[in-house]
Amino acid sequence: MIGFKSGKQIAVDGKKKIFIAPDTEYPEQGLNQSPLQRVDDKDLLRVFTKYKLSRDDVNLLTTFYSQTETSILDLKNSNWRLHQAFIDVEHLVLESLKTVYYGTKIKPLFSGRLAVCFQGSSNSGKTWMATDILNTPEYVNKKCYVISANANDPSLTKLNKIRKKKNNIFLNIDKITEPLNIKMFPKEDCILLIDDVFDSLGGHDPRKKIIADLVREVLTKGRHYKSKPSQIGMSVIIILHNPMQGAMLSSLFIECKTFVTFPSKNSSFTKKFLQNKLALSKKDMDPIFQEQKGRFLLFSIPKPQFCIAENFVRLL
């Protein structure tokens, strides 16, 4: 569930942090357990202390929430302290069970190993957002190997303004003639950035398969490509226009952890891809595209699946 004070942080809304329950907790969520188990003990203690509840009042509240069957808490004849405490506890419970959070300036937060695909039309902002991630403290000191159809793209050149130039290695796509493999890169938690390559190269260009094979290897083996256990492994960021380019690329998205799309006014293409590759139904997608404001939609693929837009975070 989406919460505000515990779990894994996935985004920020201005100064407010947005969290989601860890994957290990997700199967156990629901009302088969006491809802108070989803509330931070410190928050509960703060409410009990604020209203100076007696031990009997605390027991009454906790017993009410621990009932697995329907129960009634009669507050008609209760003291005002218990009544107000119940209102505050209910607020905490509802917040902990949220499946949708609405905001105004939500920004996704990336951490750990990256396996991200950015999809959108030209000048939609996909490369700009990708490089913004690389400029964050989490990744700014990690080496990034760039294979791009347009290495002079201003969105890419801004990497050298914040990151050390030695950490940005641009590989000349015209000199790629032999197969590439993960062992050609150092075990230093480096990042592979593939920018607009698959859309620019022709269907029979051998470089397209060479790069696709490299990306597939990094996606499948990158998490284990490290010299010590504390490392996160090799990451990959893919930037493209059209993700549906046959079997060569389709299999890549199975291993991606995050899919970020910049939908245009005609979003039918994006919806079709999400339906086919991410198993999202029309019922899942309609509220997302109807409510979305801003430029991007981020989909987290592993469970618990969720979507982030500039104005909401929604569990799928």
Please give the Cα distance from 275 to 187 (Å, whole number): 36
The answer to whether residue 35 sits within a structural domain is yes
The answer to whether residue 107 sits within a structural domain is no
Task: Provide the residue range defining the domain that includes 299.
Answer: 112-315
Res 90: pLDDT:
87
pTM of the model: 0.78
Same domain for 190 and 84: no
Same domain for 118 and 91: no
| Token pair in block for residue 289 | 């595209």
Which residue is it, tokens 């790069």? Answer: 211
Distance of CA 51 to the CA centre of its chain: 38
Res 28: pLDDT:
43
| Token pair in block for residue 44 | 């509960």
Same domain for 136 and 42: no
Tell me: pLDDT of 31 over 50: no
Same domain for 85 and 169: no
Whether 38 and 44 have beta carbons less than 8 Å apart is answered as no
- Domain total in the chain: 2
Q: Residues 49-88: pLDDT tens digits?
A: 999 999 988 988 888 887 756 566 777 767 888 889 999 9
Per the DSSP assignment, residues forming a β-bridge with 98 are 2
Same domain for 137 and 86: no
Same domain for 274 and 196: yes
Domain limit, last residue, from 53, 74, 102: 102
The answer to whether residue 62 sits within a structural domain is yes
The answer to whether residue 57 sits within a structural domain is yes
The answer to whether residue 52 sits within a structural domain is yes
The average pLDDT across 256-273 equals 80
| % of the chain at pLDDT higher than 70 | 87
Name, in order, each residue with C-beta under 8 angstroms of 122's C-beta and a sequence gap of 6 or more.
241
Distances (CA, A) of 178 to 85, 104, 197, 208: 69, 48, 16, 12
- The DSSP code sequence of 69-111 is S------TTS-HHHHHHHHHHHHHHHHHTBSEEE-SSEEE---
Q: Check residues 81 and 27 and name the one with the higher pLDDT.
A: 81
Domain limit, last residue, from 102, 122, 139: 102
The average pLDDT across 301-306 equals 82
Domain limit, last residue, from 76, 102, 128: 102
Tell me: pLDDT of 175 over 60: yes
Tell me: pLDDT of 137 over 50: yes
Same domain for 269 and 295: yes
Same domain for 207 and 282: yes
Average predicted confidence (pLDDT) for the chain: 85
The average pLDDT across 179-187 equals 97
The answer to whether residue 237 sits within a structural domain is yes
Res 49: pLDDT:
94
How many Å from the N-terminal Cα to the C-terminal Cα in the chain?
Answer: 10
- Which three-class secondary structure state does DSSP give residue 308? strand
Whether 190 and 168 have beta carbons less than 8 Å apart is answered as no
Reported as a pLDDT band with limits 50, 70 and 90, residue 112 is very high
Same domain for 122 and 91: no
Distances (CA, A) of 112 to 17, 90, 148, 232: 18, 34, 24, 6
Tell me: pLDDT of 241 over 90: no
Res 6: pLDDT:
61
The average pLDDT across 253-274 equals 80
The answer to whether residue 236 sits within a structural domain is yes
Same domain for 84 and 196: no
Res 30: pLDDT:
46
CATH number at residue 297: 3.40.50.300
Same domain for 251 and 310: yes
Res 29: pLDDT:
44
The answer to whether residue 231 sits within a structural domain is yes
Same domain for 136 and 11: no
